[in-house]
Amino acid sequence: MANVVVVGAQWGDEGKGKLVDWLSEQADTVVRFQGGHNAGHTLVIGENVYKLSLLPSGVVRPNKLSVIGSGVVLDPHHLASEVEKLIGQGVPISRDNLRVADNAPLILSVHRELDALRESSNAGTRIGTTKRGIGPAYEDKVGRRAIRLMDLADPDTLDDKIERLLSHHNTLRRGLGLPEFQAAAIREELMSVAPKVLPYMDTVWRLLDEERRAGKRILFEGAQGALLDIDHGTYPFVTSSNTVAGQAATGSGLGPRAIGYVLGIAKAYTTRVGEGPFPTELDNEIGNRIGERGREFGTVTGRKRRCGWFDSVLVRQTVRTSGIDGIALTKLDILDGFETIEVCVRYRLDGQEIDHLPASQSAQARVEPVYETIEGWSGSTAGARSWADLPAQAIKYVRRIEELIGAPVALVSTSPDREDTILVQNPFEA
């Protein structure tokens, strides 16, 4: 039985929440391995709707262990709030089903304020961040001045760590003409939330190794999408962490041999939130139609998503950079009723056709999509649970996508309902 990594194969918002929830029923342990509370998942289970942004999707399922790995930057106040909200919805959460890595770096008010200040500034390049402090927290982790969850359990050593943190941040704030943060305020910010989050603290790398050795099925849940990866995405319009599948090993503490199958999630079209290149973007009536039908608004921010045709060049690229074994194709039903559907098969750059997205920011801004026109379908795919339920032309569309991206479609999702899923290959049994 394979341990499975789920990653977004586009720019995020591909519907990972539903698929992770669907897969988590077969898993024993669900692990978040990167990002923070800047990427939301909406889970629809029966009559209940759960909106998560930090907790692993498996937390709403009974008898599953949810784990937040050290690759995540943790806002302790948001964690406490999200736990409280779910408990209010009738989801029991305790140390029995939630553990958090003791070495996870924390997001503090200094990070949130700096993130918002940078993003709101007219100077430089606007990235389109959620202003939740994710980037500055990762900067402090790399700069070796982060305060980590374990530090809350050792308050006697906290003052020196706060001083080291503020020696950096207050220098920045003086340069920006802002008042300095006081160490006492940061200490109070941390101590006030410590009792709410420390009960979940654990040595996660050891815990997961024990789970693996015991033959437990582990599901690794990524946030955002591979095209937002700090190394392999559309830099600088990316997130501050690695979002490709390889990060599952680093961000959890398990070695890469623990990963058996990589499932990429891709919409049957393409969306993007925030700034940055988007070769197949449709800034027209068709794009608006896709956005309205697909309810393309961010779970965390409420921002309207940019919409466009499926870009096989990008997904083919993420199949390679993440080592994707199979694709879960979501929101196929949103394309119902289109007479024709365009699929980007190559790019044109300065008069030459190319088969990948170049790394250069200026080149990314200049690429033009080369489309292949595919006949649409008039029948409905909404709620389909088998190939027999799909119009013949919808099946042809899926098969053509497989050919273009160089990976099989393992699942097809045809509505937000977790049961409306066509299973071609079970990743846990591949």
- Specify whether 13 is catalytic: yes
Instruction: Report CA Rg, the chain.
Output: 22
Among residues 41, 111, 169, 232, the one annotated as catalytic is 41
b/e 189-199 (16+ beta carbons within 10 angstroms → b): bbeebbeebee
**Rounded Cα–Cα distance for residues 16 and 12 (Å):** 8
Token couple for 128: 């389109």
Token couple for 382: 């909404």
Token couple for 50: 């759960």
- Specify whether 420 is catalytic: no
- Residue 75 contacts residue 46 (beta carbons within 8 Å): no
Q: Which of 274, 305, 277, 293 is nearest to 130 (CA)?
A: 274
Angle at 234 between CA 242 and CA 416, to 5 degrees: 70
Length of the chain: 430
**Given CA atoms 264, 267, 272, 273 in this order, what sign does their dihedral have?**
negative
**Rounded Cα–Cα distance for residues 219 and 93 (Å):** 19
Query: Alpha carbon of 20 to those of 8, 251, 409: distances in Å?
Result: 11, 18, 16
Residues marked as catalytic: 13, 41
